[in-house]
Amino acid sequence: MGIMDRFKTASRNWAKTIVAFESPPRLREVGGQVGEAVPETVGQVTREDQFKIRLAHNDERTRDAKFFVEKRYGEVGYHSASGQGASGPGAASCPDSITLATYQGEQVIGTQTLGFDVGHGLLADELYKAEIDVLRARGCSVAEITKFALDTKLTSKRFLAAMFNVSYIYLRKLWGYSDVVIEVNPTHAAFYKRMLGFTEIGSERMCPRVHAPAVLLWLDLGELERRIAEVAGKHELAKQDRTLLPYFFPPQEEARITDRLLRAESK
């Protein structure tokens, strides 16, 4: 069974919340030991102010993520690309991507899709294939983040850190990718550079999927892994390290989440 076949099987078999946290957020692994234990039953809500990051593994969650992305893109003047076949958020027909959705109660408040370079290329190849091929030629395994959207009224560093930390776990710890790219509006590039350490490797071009300008950013996941080991979970460093990384899960919590997801993927 291939890697994506195993992933799809595991996704059907494992539909629990990945991590839950409160606002002001205290990160809590589902069934773990950070703060009060959280029930693992899907759909069971423990608090109205609790956020939950879930895999969009079925039609309902995929539809929730799709509608949220379309709404947020429309609010900022982007055109949604959800009608372009399998490349839509969490599209069940596309085995090359997954979508992670953050919920408050049963309402989606954030999404991002992870695309895996497993033979069909990446969405970013449409504009930046030459730049991504340079990474491939170095022997890098390249993934991408797309469809990143969130409810800005609820945004905080801890909220964003949780979203990106779970994505990092999937990309690096579960699937072993070495690099990740993301197409972003040039006005947003500084955020990704400052908060996560991305570097711009592709110049500004018009993205036909959203009818807006984009630049290509790149991140070495090995370097991110080193930085996470240094500062993750050390909130006291946040005043001097103004990235999102001090708000990432403490090492023990990340290890527990990773172990549980690895066991789920191996079923």
Closest by CA to 216, choosing from 180, 169, 249, is 180
- List the chain residues with pLDDT less than 50: 1, 8, 11-15, 24-48, 82-95
Residue 13: predicted pLDDT: 44
DSSP reduced 3-state for 45 = coil
Residue 65: predicted pLDDT: 65
d(CA 1, CA 5) in angstroms, rounded, equals: 6
Q: Where are the domains of the chain?
A: 3-265
pLDDT tens for 59-74 read 766 776 666 667 666 6
Full-model pTM: 0.77
Taking each helix axis from N to C end, the angle separating 189-196 and 157-168, rounded to the nearest 10 degrees, works out to 80
Sign for the CA dihedral angle at 195, 200, 201, 204 comes to: positive
Class for the domain spanning 3-265: alpha beta
pLDDT tens for 78-101 read 655 543 333 333 333 334 888 888
